[in-house]
Every structure is written in structure tokens, then in C-alpha cells.
Amino acid sequence: MSAVGALLALVPFWYIWCILREVIETAPHYENAVHVTYYGWMATIAGLLTLLLIFDWRLGLLSLVPVALAFAVMTSMTGKEMQDKMTQYQNALADMSNEAVEYVRGTPVVKTFGQTVFSFKKFKGTIDNYERWVIAYTKQLRWPMTFYTLAVNSVFVFLIAGGFLFSRGGTDGGVLLNLLFYIIITPVISVTMTKLMFMSENGMIVQDAITRIDRVLQSPALSQPEVPQHPKDSSVTLNHVS
């Protein structure tokens, strides 16, 4: 901590604000990714796999087919490309936040001269850029998210098909009881997959924040004058002022 404090003392104050902003914005995501979501997800996965395979392994394997499809779709939404998208999203938010500060500072001028937000071209530009990015991002993930939702909620379809397949030629009450059990218990799969997806999202946000903080900490220190000078007194002199 002392080394970090000494390093922060040599960088511009704006860099310290950047680090503070990243820590404040990503602290909830970091906590969920490391403590709550991770361990809860691992416990849920272990218990769910045990329940799926201990009663009727055939129906259990059929229940995992939609999970494999959901994993395939989710991989396309959480890969390297999505990591770059998350970086662009954080950049758009940071730019809009920075320009919003300038807008708030200029609010008295806006009220005095009857201006609008459109007078702040940079602020308006960051809002338009964020809007374009969000709309494009939403359209890009529309079909993958549709297929993902369809996959994680279609387990009962595979179970019903498996029930008909395994009961050909007659069956006893055991198969029916197992089928009812799997139909009741498998909705937990959608909850588990949702936890996994949110954990991946939190991980990408935390990774992006750590990268930004490292970039700030690697910034060059403020230059120091070879011959530092100090004011002789507290007097003020105005030159060439009319």
C-alpha cells in the first residue's frame, strides 16, 4: 500500500479520480463475482448434477442436452469479442460521465442565456455515441439471447420425448415418477445458467476495471523542474490590464 501511495503522489490528480471511479463502480461486481455468485454457482452445479444422474441417468443426460446448447450460445456472447464490447461500453460511459461534469459546471450559463443541452456539443456527442452503441449492441445480441432463453427453458421438451421413448412397450410407475421428478427439478437449470451468465458478465467488468487501473498506475509521473522556484511573497501584480 505504501508503494501504491507513493506512486499516486507522483501522478496527476485526475488519474486518482479515475482509479476511484473504477473502484466505486466495479466494487459490487467484484464482490458478486468472487464471493456470492461463484460459490453459490459451484454448490448449485454440484447438487444439480447429483440429482440429475442419481435417479435415472438417461433422463439426466437428456436434461443436459439443452444445457450444452445454452453453453454454446453463451460462449458466443461471452468470448473475446464480448470482452471488447464491454470495454467499449465502459469507454462510452466514462466519456459521457466526464462531459456531464462540464455540463453541470456550465448550468448557470445555460440558465442565464437560455441555452439547452444541445449547446454542449461534446456532451451531446457522447450521448449520441452511447445511444448508437447500445442500440447496435442490443440488436447484435437479440437472436443469441433468444436462442439462449429457448434452450434453457426447453428441458421439459426433451424429457417428454425421452419419456415416450423409454416407455415404448409398456412401463411401470417408476419411470413415470422419475419423469415427474425431472420435470419438477429441471427448472433449476435455467436459474443456474442465469447465474453463470451473470458471473461471466461480472468477471468481464472486473477484468476491464483492473486493466484500466493498471493503465493509470503505469502512467508517467509528473515532471519535476531541475531548479524549483517558489513565490517571494503573497503580492499580486496586474500587467497589461485595461
Q: For residue 82, what are the domain limits?
A: 2-89+142-215
pLDDT exceeds cutoff 80 at 143: yes
Amino acid at 186: T
Mean pLDDT across the chain, nearest whole number?
72
Residue 179 resides in a domain: yes
The model's pTM is 0.57
If you average pLDDT over residues 26-39, what whole number do you get? Answer: 60
Residue 193 resides in a domain: yes
Residue 31 resides in a domain: yes
Residue 38 resides in a domain: yes
Residue 85 resides in a domain: yes
Amino acid at 38: Y
Give the residue with greater pLDDT, 63 vs 21.
63
| 58 vs 159: CA distance, rounded Å | 10
| 178 vs 55: CA distance, rounded Å | 7
pLDDT exceeds cutoff 60 at 7: no
CA nearest 63: which of 199, 157, 143?
A: 157
Residue 111 resides in a domain: no
Say what the pLDDT of residue 216 is: 66
Residue 201 resides in a domain: yes
Q: pLDDT digit string (tens) for 37-74?
A: 556 667 777 777 787 778 777 877 888 888 888 878 87
How many distinct structural domains can be found in the chain? 1
Percentage above 90 pLDDT, the chain: 0
Q: What are the CA-CA distances from residue 19 to residues 50, 90, 215 (Å)?
A: 44, 14, 10
Give the residue with greater pLDDT, 30 vs 155.
155
Count other C-beta atoms under 10 Å from residue 8's C-beta: 14
| 153 vs 217: CA distance, rounded Å | 45
- What angle in degrees, to the nearest 10, is found between the helix axes of 57-77 and 37-54? 150
